[in-house]
Amino acid sequence: MPFLPVWLPGRLSVAQVLLAALVLSSAGAGPKEPASTIGCPESCYCSTSPGGGAGVGAVGGDLAVRCSNQFLSAVPRNLPNATRRLYLDYNQLVSVPADAFLGLPLLAELDLSHNQLTLLEPGSLSALGPSLRSLDLSSNRLTTLDPEALGGLAAKANLTNNPWLCDCALQEAMPKLDLDPASLVDVVCAAAVPEEVDAKGKSFVLLAEEMDLCAGLKRTTDVAMFITMFGWFAMVISYLVYYVRANQEDARRHLAYLKSLPKGHGDESSTVSTMV
Ligand SMILES: *[C@@H]1O[C@H](CO)[C@@H](O)[C@H](O)[C@H]1NC(C)=O
Ligand SMILES: *[C@@H]1O[C@H](CO)[C@@H](O)[C@H](O)[C@H]1NC(C)=O
């Protein structure tokens, strides 16, 4: 391909670029442009609204990728790296893999609502870091908020309509989250641990103000620790008792043996008996 270097410094016409691409791909040589920088994923609709509310550094407009209502069971792979808004609502996603949203440094709005999400893998959303402003996780099947998945996200989140399990794990997770605090009011308990807590329909934040959901667990651990220690103690004591008994038995047998010996060794046996 000797003509390529001649072309590159000059102005490229569309036809030249296409031709070059054709030559490169047919030659199987040149580095393939990653799919993420061009095109739109299958079953998505991409649109650019010039300068549409994207804020500082909105070069090249505001790229929105809409993949709503497409029966998707996985997050599309080849999302354009300039995506600012991504709509994945009304699909059949059950989990968000750790690498689902890598390479999207501009993503500011993410809609994952109305799916069947039960799991957000560690790192999956926290990878979006501070660029994310709005996160919709409403109407899914989430039961807990994992700081490993959501830590470092300062987004405003919609967390309504999920079957949240209000337990010690959730209580411990809350202070580790950086989400907009107003979002957390929408974490409404569907169930609680310990079960006797009447939590159904209550906001977790309010519940946690009233009671310590980890208190029961601490008590259980204390009891378990006590039982374990008592068990060890009992074992040591019974071993000691057994040891002493067995030795007494031995000594007695030894004594009896000495006594059965012919007389003349009497003083020896009395020494042993004083020893025992
Ligand atoms: C997207 O990828 C292209 C090519 O790799 C790069 O030039 C561009 O800066 C990237 N855009 C963003 C927003 O990272
Ligand atoms: C949160 O999601 C629910 C259900 O998907 C919706 O009805 C509600 O309007 C959303 N709230 C906000 C503040 O966007």
Minimum CA distance residue for ligand 2 atom 2? 138
Q: Count Cβ atoms within 10 A of the Cβ of residue 190 and give its class: 0-12 exposed, 13-18 middle, 19 or more buried.
A: middle
Minimum CA distance residue for ligand 1 atom 2? 37
Interval between CA 158 and ligand 2 midpoint (Å): 6
2 versus 188: the higher-pLDDT residue is: 188
Q: Which ligand is nearest to the CA of 131?
A: 1
Cβ atoms 159, 188 nearer than 8 A: no
Cα radius of gyration rounded to whole Å, the chain: 36
Question: Could you give the CA distance from residue 192 to residue 212 in angstroms, rounded to a whole number?
Answer: 12
- For the ranges 9-23, 47-61, 137-151, the one whose mean pLDDT is highest: 137-151
Cis peptide before 194 (omega within 30 of 0): yes
The confidence band for 276, taking pLDDT boundaries of 50, 70 and 90, is: very low
Interval between CA 111 and ligand 2 midpoint (Å): 11
- For the ranges 6-20, 88-102, 209-223, 259-273, the one whose mean pLDDT is highest: 88-102
- For the ranges 53-67, 140-154, 247-261, the one whose mean pLDDT is highest: 140-154
Minimum CA distance residue for ligand 2 atom 13? 158
Question: What are the pLDDT digits (tens) for 209-255?
Answer: 888 988 876 667 777 777 888 788 888 888 888 888 888 888 888 78
